Structure 1
Amino acid sequence: MNATTRGCLLAALACVLVGGSFTANSLLGDYPYAGGQFLRYTLACLLLVPLAGPGAAARLRSLAPRQWARLALLAAVGMVGFNLAVLAAERTAEPAVPGVLVGCAPVVVAVLVPLLDGRRPRRAVLSGALLVAVGAFTVQGWGRTDGAGLGWSVCALAGEVGFAVLAVPVLRPLGPRLLSATVCGVAALESAAAGLLLDGTGWLRRPDATETTALLWQAAIVTVIGFVCWYMGMQRIGAERATLFSGLIPVAAACTAPLVGTGSYGLAQAVGSALVGAGVALGSGAPGRAARPRSLPVDEGARPLAHERE
């Protein structure tokens, strides 16, 4: 299996896990938002630190202040801010609205990353991204909203884009596992600060059995496995093509929703899933030298996991 195929599979797995996490989110509706994020990211950080590899402390010490600022912004925008924006949007908008806006992330990244790199967007990737966005819209439809709901949905889109774009310059020196551990630690601190500011002393409480199960799933599966797979995939195929796979998020959410009785999977979801698959195939298979993530060599910053050494 070559690096490109492996990168595509890793990015796909990460996005499927994130899509399935929306089912777990439905079980945390009564738990304080910031407290839940704090527990999720703290546990994930503790699980990721042993996987960071030798020399992790030295790599962190070598980071410049601007790189630490980027990590703080990545955690604030792409993790804590993204989840907060989705929650705020759903107060006045149906869940499909932020979902559709987030589904446009591949289009934004397909344009933004090449421009930041001083080159033109690749036609195949951009065409695939547009097809993915249409597929995401077909899967979810469009719901009722007001100005606030639409505004917060745009913020959620910015968070999804930031999660990929802001990570590009720090992925090389840290590697996927140390980067995931670091941003989870930073996000935990930011969540605690947000909780104290917004909810006061009620920002954290003991979760019940159902909430504990959902938080463990979010931390161990979605965050630890999902984040590492996402950044390993991005390391191999680049941010543009990796973000195409975010179209699998609404597909996975639509597939898992019937399991807990929060939705159904019908003809629209099937057609949308097919469109997403076609867009991913078109964009991720784009040929050309520019498609290679030149600045993100696979073996830079971290050794591969055990199953990657074979």
Structure 2
Amino acid sequence: MNATPLRGALLAAFACTLVGASFTANSVLGAYPYAGGQALRYGLAALLLLPLLRSRHGSGLRARLRTLTWPRRVRLAALAGIGMVGFNLAVLAAERSAEPAVPGVFVGCAPIVVGVLVPTLEGRRPSRTVLYAAGLVAAGAFTVQGWGRTDLSGILFSVGALAGEVGFAVLAVPVLRPLGPALLSAAVCTVAAVESVLLGVLLDGQRFLRVPTGHEALALLWQAAVVTVIGFVCWYSGMRQIGAERATLFSGLIPVSAALTAPLAGTGTYGVGQGAGSLLVGAGVALGSGVLARRRRAEGNATVTGGVRGGHATPPFAGPPANGGATRHDRLTRGGAG
């Protein structure tokens, strides 16, 4: 793979692996007020991102902030409300009447929805390769998690969690390039913290916030510093480089990472089903990210350039394919027309 797409794929994979490995921290926060925990997590994350903003943007930070027109501000509010606060609330509500695997299976379908929705909104046809890969990823996520007990309420809230996961990627697309990953992460964390405070006051009044225990404080710090600051910046950096469609394929690594780390925390086992599902996810990611196509192309190029050793001299004026060939391939890799 080229350096930039490879780096983008690795960043997206790392971000999703962090999210999957954070499920143990989520279980520690089960008794902490939901909205208060979200307000602390996102507020602390926004503060931790400030030094990164100064080092990356410096004096240009104000110029980037001036690009936040009112339509973009509304989009940021929707991104925070739907993709962050709303997503977490939907998962929490779903797990009141459904086993955790149920919202996990629905969220695992996000690559399919994003693979159709993003190109449609941009006026182009969805990539068949990405859709095939998304199907493999969704099947793998289902195999890893299985299907648990639920009712109609659990299914509806799980659909809401799916909408939140899709919104987290789709709503960010138009504001990612002008703001950049770090500023976008800081902006949505700030907005999400404010929205969480308002939600907490509305639902729980003054009880929405309390002093966390030692274990809860460590879990909140992990969620803020590692999952949110590092995870968000890596996710949006990867998405900017390989596109929302391909980046969302890596969300299939979330249940795989959770399954791999569950035995270490004593909260689950890793068996044949999890192994088979992990292979399906890996196959889908490899297919959709372009690894297999690029490897075949590289092998083909090596055969052509090594033709002299095979007794077929390469013509002196033969070079790479016409400009359009390489350019179109790069467009496809970054989420262009399928």
In the superposition, the TM-score normalised over structure 2's length comes to 0.85
CA radius of gyration, larger in: 2
Matches within 5 A, 1:125-164: 125-164=130-169
The residue that corresponds to 1:110 in the other structure is 115
Give the Cα–Cα distance (whole angstroms) in 2 for the partners of residues 62 and 231 of structure 1. Answer: 18
Aligned-residue offset at 1:294: 7.8
Give the Cα–Cα distance (whole angstroms) in 2 for the partners of residues 294 and 122 of structure 1. Answer: 8
Aligned-residue offset at 1:291: 2.3
In the superposition, the TM-score normalised over structure 1's length comes to 0.93
The answer to whether the 8 A contact 1:45-1:184 is kept is yes
**1:268 equivalent in alignment to 2:273:** yes
Matched residue of 2:13: which SS?
A: helix
The answer to whether the 8 A contact 2:244-2:335 is kept is no
**1:244 equivalent in alignment to 2:230:** no
Give the Cα–Cα distance (whole angstroms) in 2 for the partners of residues 265 and 57 of structure 1. Answer: 49
The answer to whether the 8 A contact 2:136-2:280 is kept is yes
User: Can you give the 5+ residue segments of structure 2 that lack an aligned partner in the other structure?
Assistant: 295-328
Moved over 4 A (4+): none
Q: 1:83 aligns with which of 79, 82, 88?
A: 88
Aligned-residue offset at 1:56: 1.8
The answer to whether the 8 A contact 1:238-1:291 is kept is no
Give the Cα–Cα distance (whole angstroms) in 2 for the partners of residues 183 and 123 of structure 1. Answer: 32
Give the Cα–Cα distance (whole angstroms) in 2 for the partners of residues 49 and 180 of structure 1. Answer: 10
Give the Cα–Cα distance (whole angstroms) in 2 for the partners of residues 223 and 266 of structure 1. Answer: 30
Give the Cα–Cα distance (whole angstroms) in 1 for the partners of residues 225 and 281 of structure 2. Answer: 27
Give the Cα–Cα distance (whole angstroms) in 1 for the partners of residues 271 and 333 of structure 2. Answer: 37
Residues paired across the two proteins, number: 295
Q: CA RMSD in A?
A: 1.3
The residue that corresponds to 2:302 in the other structure is none
Q: 1:219 aligns with which of 221, 224, 227?
A: 224
The answer to whether the 8 A contact 1:237-1:291 is kept is no
Code of the residue aligned with 1:291 in structure 2: it is L
The residue that corresponds to 2:35 in the other structure is 34
The residue that corresponds to 1:199 in the other structure is 204
Q: 1:239 to 1:290 in 2, by over 3 A?
A: same
The answer to whether the 8 A contact 2:13-2:253 is kept is yes
Aligned-residue offset at 1:62: 2.5
- The range that moved more, 282-291 or 189-198, is 282-291
Aligned-residue offset at 1:235: 0.6
Aligned-residue offset at 1:246: 0.2
User: Can you give the 5+ residue segments of structure 1 that lack an aligned partner in the other structure?
Assistant: 296-310
